[in-house]
A and B are shown apart, each in its own frame.
Chain A
């Protein structure tokens, strides 16, 4: 069942995801800077930040428990696993049977619980504030993401991500109205999950409005580097999920080498456009009050549920 080319393709994909993820983050930030009429730090800036952080000494609070120190590694491992099961270039993934769409949501939930617990570990006011807000975003974003994935599962009669992509990309062209709803829900969820405006602001320096940044305030050095890298990886994986569900054309079927080579520029183009759109959305919207966030995510969740109903209604 497991083939060598498949395994090689799989490992290449994971490495590609890990190495390229910071570029995507840099690209989004660069686009934002351009739109704000700034010159921007360049798309390679995340790498410089990572190198700086890795080289620095880690400073730990006196009462940090082993859980606190283990979290960045666990977070990074979770995101790598997520990158391993999402079809990025091709659909011949030996790891993919290990986890399907539901387990993918489970991985994100696991990462979220880890980071929230670590945020509460030091016992500072901001840490627990961040953990509480993160869980508040999570308890609606997680089922919303699951419902979005279920929409694709209903169409392809499978929860396996590779089968979903194969079905959507390579079976005859059909318009699925339910995916329009699911697409909007997914966009809303991915903005919230990746700590972007309108739910969170990645570049904020005002403690009281932070979510993600408040949780990782106590981290420094290599630990912070791993967390930042994981955040970039999460953005990358989310973008790839979006591509796989809504624009799967170009992802290679099976493991043929030519298809994989063609898939790479297609992926790069799609990610560039996706990152630009994300920056655009961030530019034209304002950050919400924190208690508007459940309303926003509740809307996304219900839209995803509605999409499943539409699928049943129209019977397509």
Chain B
């Protein structure tokens, strides 16, 4: 949005520059609180409705948190799932002791570990050290992974390194790098980062899979690295752009190096390729997602194309250089990954009305906390990246793009807090107030609640879905209806209308064979998202943007003769 001096004078009320200090605790406090042996009390609100024990199990310990960033050191005593502290399962050198409680002593795990270790001979000493640290962390995750999970992670990684039949499109160095990053992601020693790509959507799903079923994450990435393609659950072979399978400028950074913090690693790159293409190649028309060398300073290198290579256009007529997924689309991917229940939470005024499998669309703070209570961890939350929680300035002076984060562990408080795993690097993984997180899901400044969850518009007064336009508050930012270029996550309504439009635009389609859509209907589908954006621009008093959008709408109408 372009702001004129005149406009700023009119809206001269200044916000505190950054309220983040009030929202979070320091990294040191965070690290201290992530002591793996701590058992947390459940969060129960005075009204008794917010009870996190449903999410985090009878001990109130979240598996993601309990799998520590502050990893168990070799030789440390270990707490079992039932709270008992038992003798070390590894000695000081990281080798398993004879403690029968340790998954490290499972015969199958021992064999798989030994097989994998032999295959790391081609790695550098630094890489080997990192692999060892990751394996130690995997075998000491809390609650412990089953022996089958650990064995399966190792076997998938070993299969990639073994490369029987020499069929992998990757070089030996790339396979080493990929194997290391598979183990690293399964270890949960750090966050899972998206780097400079619009892939918050699939990164949150990948993180969730590595928490709940890391063997499946390892299997998917290993299969892609070995074959250059991916077989979906229905048997369809998902074709992947071969050039996109090689390391990009971020993923070639040595795994374990500090410079990788915030960057997308190689396993995540291939996971993104597999799952985004798995979704789009099941749609009509099938689309293809790839990664090319950036052609400019703000280019993430992402491309979404039709089968003939033509770039797909976004609702604004520009190339759609991102995965282009809504929460409903993410939920479909999640279901394919084996997720059940409602694991994505968004605000109904943003994502649109209606519920779908895997998503909870909430209308107020109470529904938000209820959705957390009923979901399985770690939940995925759709948030406004321009909210103060993310270093933005709320809805003043800019429009936020929609983004998703994972939330997991909690502290009772007050105020109640959850641990947020963002994909922007370790500094962005932090404790946040549940109320602040809820506020970040809102489309506008209106309806914000205090630290106690009180205040705001309770009881659905915020407007509902299509009726959300009544919320606009002039300089407060409007409703954020309509698609904003490069939103990390699209609103479901915008997504559906855009998908209809691109079906008509498919250059591979023979217009003589499909008369199902009349030109007039097609035109309306193209214009509708632009009209939504125009409404937002008018609410924001963004005259320049409104002018551009009016011209585009007139141009489309003119082209059709209407």
- A and B bind: no
Please list the residues of chain B having a beta carbon within 8 angstroms of any beta carbon in chain A.
none
Please list the residues of chain A having a beta carbon within 8 angstroms of any beta carbon in chain B.
none
